[in-house]
Amino acid sequence: PSSPNAAYAEVCGALVLACGRLGVKAEFKPINDVQFRGRKLSGSALTRRWGACLVHGTVLVEEHRERMFGALKVDADKARPKNLPEPGARVTSLAEILGEAPAMETVKAAMVSGFEEKFGLRTKVGGLTPWEVELADKLVKEKYGTDEWNLRR
């Protein structure tokens, strides 16, 4: 897509289809959220580099609000303009909506199906090449597994 907003609309549209397969009537809320009854179920972010656009994000299957917002260090002042008692009040999860957490394989299958439909494609199961495994191991050792990377403030 030519713009970040268009990229979010495409990817979040696939997530909405996937949620439907799980029995959840979700909707895309610009800029980058998928919501259920006004509460955030999924959030996305993107980056553009080397002529490509990468959209990534979360779908909350089962949340532990205190741990999640403790790790995210969300300022409670952010919730005040939205008249929320605390930041976690505006999020939900598949488990909360459905009454129990769906099996992860069920969630994965729904995601694949939603993306296949949205983009008119067929996926196939594959694995990493030896070069990709070697590169991943190197990146963990030299960057992503270091305290410098993980504990930066």
Nearest alpha-carbon partner for 19 in 60, 57, 50, 49? 60
Burial class (CB in 10 A: 0-12, 13-18, 19+), 71: exposed
- Look up the pTM and report it: 0.77
How do the pLDDT tens digits run along the chain, 153 residues long? Answer: 889 999 999 999 999 999 999 999 999 999 999 999 999 999 999 999 888 899 999 999 987 767 766 666 666 665 555 555 565 678 889 999 999 999 999 999 999 999 999 999 999 989 999 999 999 999 999 999 999 998 876
